[in-house]
Amino acid sequence: MKINKTVDNFFILYSTIRANSRQVKIYLLYSWYMKISIMTKTIAACANEQRLEILKFLKYKKYGNVSTIAKNINTSVKSTSKHLIILHLAHIVKREREGNEIYYSLNKPLNEVSKNIVGLL
pLDDT for residue 62 = 87
Query: What percent of the chain shows pLDDT beyond 90?
Result: 32
60, exposed or middle or buried, with CB in 10 Å at 0-12, 13-18, 19+?
exposed
- Give CATH 1.10.10.10 domain extents, the chain: 37-120
Contact 57, 84 (CB under 8 A): no
Mean pLDDT of 80-91: 91
Is pLDDT above 80 for 79?
A: yes
- Report pLDDT digits (tens) over 35-64: 677 778 888 888 888 998 999 999 889 889
Pick the CATH number of 37-120 from 3.30.390.50, 1.10.10.60, 1.10.10.10, 1.10.630.10: 1.10.10.10
Residue 66 has pLDDT above 90, yes or no: yes
The mean of the pLDDT values for the chain is: 76
